[in-house]
Chain A
Amino acid sequence: MTWTSKKREELTGWLFIAPQALGFLAFVVAPLVAVVWYSFQDVNLLAGTSEFAGAGNYAKLFDDPTAPKVARATAIFCVGLVVLNLALALSLALLLNLKLRGTTVFRTVFFSPVVVTLVAWTIVWNFLLQDNGGINALLQTIGVEGPNWLRGNGTAMLSVIVVQVLKNVGLNMVLFLAALQGIPSSIMEASQLDGAGPWRRFRSVILPMISPTTLLTAIITVAGALQVFAQIQVLTLGGPADSTNVLVFYFYQQAFANHDLGYGSALAVVLFLVILVLTLLQWRMRRRWVFHES
């Protein structure tokens, strides 16, 4: 083989991407393939044996009485989190975009939970949300008897969503803030001269101008919501009565607590497909509502 300059260039290129490519193959592609393979196996984790199970693990999903509860909890969590997160992030960004004193401090305050360790954040909230915890003590000072936040069927999910929103809203807020600050002032001034009020300006100018950012935040928030785990593990363990048992937590329970790696893997594949479909759906719909897309 002769080492032409083209071949040398080609090899150099491969060597440059090798660390990243090998890492990607080992830690992304290989586990993905393994999960799909395991989802067709009946695995005995303790004995270390496995047998081909065909589509048995996927069929199990339809006979599992807990599965509908898990699907419901996942949908509620996802919708609740996405709506609350995006609405709050946009509202905060609009407020912090005003030229007022002290906005820098508030930006820091709202963003700081993003850099706090997730588990530490959730453990603190676990104490605050106890029946005899800080939130109810605070409510008591104004004469209100708070509910048992993490044990009530309705309040447990609400608590998990709010804890998660407070943790991550700062990230979306910063993204929205950057988008708002990118709107040319000439457009805003033109709309004012045309007599548009605040609501009209928000609906007809601001929302279309920040729509690419809205698409980005929606995609990452939906994908993130479907992957929630640590909060459920620390706050509710999926309870009460499976009301907060979301798909990733259920997958973990099946695969590692119940030793049913085959069924757990099938659940993971289903989750992967759900995230993929939702992301593609959002990506395809962008042409309808994202400004600049045609």
Chain B
Amino acid sequence: MAYRRIRLLAAALSAVALASTACSGGDGDDKNIALRMTVWTTDKNQLALFDSIAAEYRKAHPEVASVKFDVVPGDTSAYSAALTTQLSGGNPPDLAWILERDAPDFVQSGALTNLKSTLDSTAGYNAAELVPSATKLWTKDDGLYAYPFSTSPFGMFYNKNLLTQAGITETPDRLVASGQWTWDAARRIAAQVAARVTGKAGLVIREFEYKQWVLLASVWRGFGADAWGPDGKTCGFTSPEMTSAMTFLHQAIFTDKALPGPGTTADFFAGESGLTIAQISRAGLLKAKPFEWGIVPLPAGPKANAQVVGQAGIGVPVKGKHAKAAADFLAFFTNPANSAKLGQYFPPARDSLLNAATLAKANPLFSQEQLQNVVVNGIKTGAVLPSHTGSARIASLVQSALDPMWKPDANVPAALAGVCQAIEPALNQ
């Protein structure tokens, strides 16, 4: 009797397994394909653009029944966690927006499909014109594992009204023109705004909030410092250059009050600070012209005039149900014509589009000079934010070890030594 029950149970489970296999689709499906792309944006205009590109694709591909852009709101950590959960929970998207910090993990783990053959074989795609510095993070053994659809340089936005109120005549634009746009100058202007305009902050490093330390690369690279060496195994936090950069920041925060201290919030785009370091893709927040503003490249530091770039790629998870169809859609989504359209929000990685005249058509908020100085030069000369395999773990270790530095009486070199002590085992794993 018991044996019969076991046989019945086994038969039922086999039937369920067979049924679920039959329903799971796979690459063999050639009609009624429903594609889903996980995206890290809630911007209605950007989503509308995505939808319009998808609608155009579907006209020529009736086998694709729908393309859904699955919005996952939240900060970078929440987004990465949600994407990972989708992948591991048996619900992988067909395409995924991947942040630069996660690139090494995704590329090294084999989670993504190699797109090279699809892109190379797509007529008119011209993959050869992708800027090598933009594809570097997504490349392994000559394979391309995601398309770097957004290569967004960091720039320094400034509020002309607040600077005028603070009596500042040597504005960042003028300092750029005279070759004197340095971190010292930026710190001086920020301190003056904070001191002279009641209730306003000086310089805000957007989204840093004393947690997203990786954004400090926009400051320390000008001092010749970086989080780790090119091999990814040597900690860079104890280098003299990093000590100099962090001491500069510490003094700017706690001595000059040029930057709002920990736990104090100020939003540049709401008119609450004189300057901000942010990616140029944030300029959309100034569409309503809440105040007069300008944008200049990141200031020069004592060692370099370093520019920094944030990046996002779109990849096709190997475990997706329709990997082939997804790669084909990606080739259409990022072809030269659509890259030009996407360029109004996401600076392109294509050489032919990387000129001020082309970018100006899609970016009416910027002057051609701003586009040349900040966007084109930024992408061509800038380096992507630090990334590493196991970046999330390293990020939390650095964040925790850096916390002692964000106090007025902190011992900066000791705090930086603590960072290296914390992350060196992870760097060498």
Contact = CB atoms under 8 A, between A and B. Distances in A.
Contacts of B264: 130-132
Interface string B102-123: 0001100111000000000000
A245 B403 CA distance: 13
A259 B406 CA distance: 28
B84 interface: yes
Nearest to B108: A46
Contacts of B318: 47
A257 interface: yes
Contacts of B294: none
Contacts of A45: 84, 87-88
A151 interface: yes
Contact of B84 (A148, A242, A245, A256): A256
Interface string B392-404: 1100110111011
A150 B87 contact: no
B211 A239 contact: yes
A48 B319 contact: yes
A241 B404 contact: yes
B80 interface: yes
Chain B interface size band reads 20 to 34
B225 to A, nearest CB: 22
Nearest to B261: A131
A256 B78 CA distance: 9
Interface residues of A, number: 32
A257 B84 CA distance: 8
Given A45-B87, A130-B264, A240-B406, A259 B392 contact: yes
Find the residue from A43, A130, A151 having the highest chain B CB count within 10 A. Answer: A151
A258 B77 CA distance: 10
A260 B318 CA distance: 20
B393 A239 contact: no
B81 interface: yes
A256 B85 contact: yes
A267 to B, nearest CB: 14
Contact of B110 (A47, A65, A131, A256): A47
Contact of B393 (A241, A242, A258): A258
A170 interface: no
A150 B403 CA distance: 12
Interface in A1-60: 43-48
B263 A148 contact: yes
B407 to A, nearest CB: 8
Contacts of A242: 400
Nearest to B422: A65
Given A257-B77, A259-B84, A46 B263 contact: no
B338 interface: no
Contact of A261 (B88, B397, B399, B400): B88
A240 B213 CA distance: 13
Contact of A150 (B110, B263, B401, B404): B263
Given A148-B261, A238-B400, A260 B88 contact: no
Interface in B59-104: 77, 80-81, 84-85, 87-88
Contacts of B211: 237, 239
Interface string B317-342: 01100000000000000000000000
Given A258-B390, A258-B396, A259-B84, A46 B105 contact: yes
B81 A256 contact: yes
Interface string A213-252: 0000000000000000000000001111110010000001
A149 B400 contact: no
A19 to B, nearest CB: 19
B394 to A, nearest CB: 9
Given A131-B264, A258-B392, A259-B392, A48 B401 contact: no
A241 B261 CA distance: 17
Contacts of B400: 66, 238-239, 241-242, 245
A227 B422 CA distance: 27
Contacts of A253: 392, 396
B262 interface: yes
Contacts of B392: 253, 257-259
B265 A130 contact: yes
Contacts of B263: 129-133, 148-151
Interface string A165-192: 0000000000000000000000000000
Query: What are the 4 A-B residue pairs with the smallest beta carbon separation, nearest first?
Result: A131-B263, A240-B403, A46-B111, A46-B109
Given A237-B211, A242-B400, 9 more contacts: A44-B109, A46-B84, A46-B87, A131-B262, A148-B261, A150-B263, A238-B396, A238-B400, A256-B85
Interface of A: 43-48, 65-66, 129-133, 148-151, 237-242, 245, 252-253, 256-261
Interface of B: 77, 80-81, 84-85, 87-88, 105-106, 109-111, 210-211, 261-265, 318-319, 390, 392-393, 396-397, 399-401, 403-404, 406, 422
15 contacts: A46-B105, A46-B109, A48-B87, A48-B88, A129-B263, A131-B264, A132-B263, A132-B264, A132-B265, A148-B261, A150-B263, A151-B263, A241-B400, A241-B403, A256-B85
